[in-house]
A and B are shown apart, each in its own frame.
Chain A
Amino acid sequence: MARTVPPDLLPGTLDLLILRVLVSESMHGYGLAQRLKVLSKDVLQVGESSLYPALQRLLLNGYVDAEWGPSDNNRKARYYTLTKAGRKHLAAEKAEFEGLVAAIRLVLENA
């Protein structure tokens, strides 16, 4: 079943996912949404009303940079690139997230 994020996602997770997707290459908003959908096997459908605020948040924190450039079919699109600070943030968030998931799993399996 497809889900939209948020509200069900843990807070901050969308940011984490976006950063992770941007590790390999710069991407525009639409591409990001598509990629998230594909990667999550259609489970995560990120709506624009969550995606763009999240991107804005990341921009303002300096975790990503944005630049206008031509898209594959020659539209002017805004490409987001991971910054050094973003990479650091990703590592930290990832570690935290994994810790959290491990903890949840521990509770679920051993309770």
Chain B
Amino acid sequence: MTTFFRRLRARLKYRHFERDLAREIETHRAMKQDELEARGLTPDQARPRSYRALGNMTYMREEVRHVRLGSAGTVADHLRSDLLDGMRSLRRSPAFTTLALCVLALGIGLNTAIFSVVKAVFFPTSQAASPSTLVYISADKPLALRDFRAATQTAFQDFAKHGGQQAELVVAGARAARRHGEHVSASYFDVVGVRPWMGRGFSPAEDDPANTERAVVISHHLWAEVFNSDVTVIGKPARIGALSFSVIGVMPPAFRGLSAPWRTTDFWITSVQAIPTSDPAIIRLVTGSSHRLVARLQPGVSVRQAAAIASAISPVRILPSTDAPIAFAEDGVSRTILIIASVVMATGLMVLLIAGVNITGIISARAVSRQREFAVRQALGAGGWRIIQQRLLESLLLAAGGGIAGTGVAWICIRLYRAYSPAELVFAAPLDLQVLAYTLVVCACTGVLIGLAPALGARRPELLTSLGGGVGAGLPRRARRRLQYGVLVPQILLSVVLLMVGAVYGMTLVRMEFPESGYKVDGVTAATYTYSDVPPPGRYSSVDYPDKRRTFDSGLLNRLKQAPGVTGAALSSRLPSDHMGTVYTRWIATDAMANVPGRGAEGNHVSAGYFAALGIPLLRGRDFDRRDVIGAPAVAVISESLAQELWPDADPIGRSFVRLNQDGTRGGAGYAQARQVIGVVADTRSPLQTGPNRPAFYTALWQTNDLFGELPIFVIASGAPAAVMEALRTAIESDPLGHVLAMQTMEETIAREMYPFRAAAWLLGVVGVAGITLAALGLYGVVAQSVAQQTREFGIRATLGASRRDIVRLVLSRGARIAVIAAVPGGIIGLLCLRAATRWADLAPIIDPLTVVTVLGFIAAVVMAACYIPARRAGNVDPAGTLRAE
């Protein structure tokens, strides 16, 4: 180690070794001369002899240099000198450096931002302590937790339930605000392993239905915002829905809850206290339910072992909590978001590719003028690899600079995204170490890519031509053309693909905003609400809750229908616009001989008047009415396409259908039982659905008890939104037990659902325009350069009688050739991408020829504009002047 430091010290101390050496040699020579003079020679004789005595100076200097470079640290010395060289060369051409840095910063920045958001969605950092021992449990059937717990004690330490809810939270003196809260079991914070920051978490007392002291734990964010960071908050009251709770704890600032990453949970209450009807002993984990069961594994038990133990007791699935995409695949959003995210990621990388190719083009163009420099170096004995190394280092330097600036760009992009996205799609996308590591990798790849191609080209410069010719002499004509094409064609091609996909999607979305949905969007408002029955002490729920709820609901509908300005009102378990997270079940006609599985249909529980309120035409039969209650024959209204699927050539009215189970059996209890068709309605489409209509069926809300638990019911009313909203609030809250949870017009709902798609289309469009701008600049540069180099040719042509028009046309045709070579395959690839996308039922683009032609026309116009300016300059060449100049 001391040796190392000694050498390092020496290296630093004698860093001016060339200068020192030169001086030292001069001293040496002078002393020799002194000696010779002392022997009696005249200074004139002594001087040349002293020089001769020195021998081969250059050889010696090389020897000394060799000692210096040949000893420890050769690589470091090369690197250092190359690095300095690179920086010097970049500093010498500030215009190029600035342009390249800007382009790279944009490309890398956009990529970093996209990656950080995608990462935050798909790989959220777990909020739980030691997430590797935390698992999610899901099941198709309600789970008797008490028995399950007893039987799986060897696998799980403890269980907790949690599920989301949007609710209005009212604190005295503060404005009521809609917040995302969770219903949990009292064990939740213990299982998750996060301790409150202030106060306490839930105790078993909060899981006791007899306990009338309701407790709420709030987020740090809510504490700061609604309670004004009140340190005496513990014990203060807060109203959620119809019930009053007192604050018992505040969670630490970093804890955002375990729901999807775009949701910050602001409060936690126990399910028992939130919905008096829920029984903590039974857990509904049916797919599609918003409730999830988490469990902490026993020490030393692996996820696989736990799954084996658990599935022996009950058919459940065990998912590691670290496997977030799977965990919230249950929410049904992941597939669509995955598609969007990959499209967006791919777009980002394409931008970087365009930016990279663009810079490669500039570097190559510079390489032509630096040819002489490289040739000289090579003549002096620099190895080919050494030159590549130097070029690479230069481009890596550029990429590093671009990366640093790009991180800033990414930060701004994330800011913009957070400012212009709907609240529930905004989530923390920090530029953490992983993101920065990604940026680093992107930078390195970009640096190598933009450096390697021109460097390989520069390795074998034709020494003689380069040394012999002037600055203007560059690569041979064919090589130059190959280079221009290699640089420009991919840029234009990628831009065409991006623009075309972006524009077609954009147009598709514009059309979807007012879709042929089959239902009314204008003037329809939907609200979710709770009806909270306070159970008698000692009971989980009042036995007659479903009856009371039905009474409340029909009262609610009556009050609404009588309210001024309301033209229609109904209840449903789902909005027609909502298709994400829908569970498709396969149904089959009871009279069908073979089990031919259909496409699966989405179900909805609705009240009478639903079709009328939403303007969905009833094609045959009747709507639900007072006859369709519990105990009466199970009935259903089906959509046209389901009717077509089940009974292609018969009248469906009066016929029955039943669920076709996975194992090939038919029917079952409750939802799966056979139902008789009483009516057929027209198909509806959700706003993003561009494929064929999806089969749907409707069951009578009054015929089920299942729903009156944890799933929200929508009350839909039509009429002028302001009046309807007022009427909805009054109708729901006229009963002291009813409370509004959330309210939104259909337009808002749809806009929210469309947001990711719209954002993606915007991104594609913006990026496509940016790409074509870069490509146009590149094309302009190339054409301008070739015009400058061929001034003489144009002069001769003009002398020989070519008109200005002829010359302009000549130059334009060269630009056009590049453009056509690039745009045609670009257009074909774009169309193929779109064709491939039409297979996705959810967001199939509508390819209309007008958009495609417009995009191609736009690109042609940009390309021609880029060529026209230099072409005009070529046309204005003064023949006499040019020839004289030569």
Contacts and interface: CB of A to CB of B under 8 A. Distances in A.
Contacts of B28: 28-30, 48
A73 B60 CA distance: 26
A61 B7 contact: yes
A48 B24 CA distance: 11
Nearest to B32: A30
B23 interface: yes
A30 B33 CA distance: 11
Nearest to B72: A60
A73 B10 contact: no
Interface stretch (A17-25, A51-59, A101-109): A51-59
Contacts of B67: 53-54, 56-57, 60
B30 interface: yes
A56 B17 contact: yes
Contacts of B662: none
A53 B63 CA distance: 6
Interface in A26-73: 28-30, 47-50, 52-54, 56-57, 59-62, 66, 71, 73
A78 interface: yes
B68 A52 contact: no
Contact of B64 (A53, A61, A77): A53
Contacts of A47: 55
A53 B60 CA distance: 8
Contacts of A57: 67, 71
B596 interface: no
Contacts of B20: 66, 78
A104 to B, nearest CB: 28
A3 interface: no
Contacts of A60: 7, 10-11, 14, 67-68, 71-72
Contacts of B21: 52, 56
A22 to B, nearest CB: 16
Contact of A61 (B6, B25, B31, B63): B6
Contacts of A28: 24, 27-28, 31
A9 B24 CA distance: 25
B34 interface: yes
Interface residues of A, number: 24
Interface residues of B, number: 31
Contacts of B10: 59-62
Contacts of A30: 27-28, 31-32
Contact of A49 (B3, B11, B56): B56
B50 to A, nearest CB: 11
Contacts of B7: 60-62
Nearest to A50: B63
A52 B27 CA distance: 13
B9 interface: yes
Contact of B68 (A49, A56, A66): A56
A73 B34 contact: yes
A52 B34 contact: no
A85 B67 CA distance: 19
A56 B25 CA distance: 13
B377 interface: no
B54 interface: yes
15 contacts: A28-B27, A30-B27, A49-B56, A52-B21, A52-B60, A52-B63, A53-B67, A56-B64, A56-B67, A56-B68, A61-B71, A75-B30, A76-B23, A78-B20, A78-B23
Interface of A: 28-30, 47-50, 52-54, 56-57, 59-62, 66, 71, 73, 75-78, 85
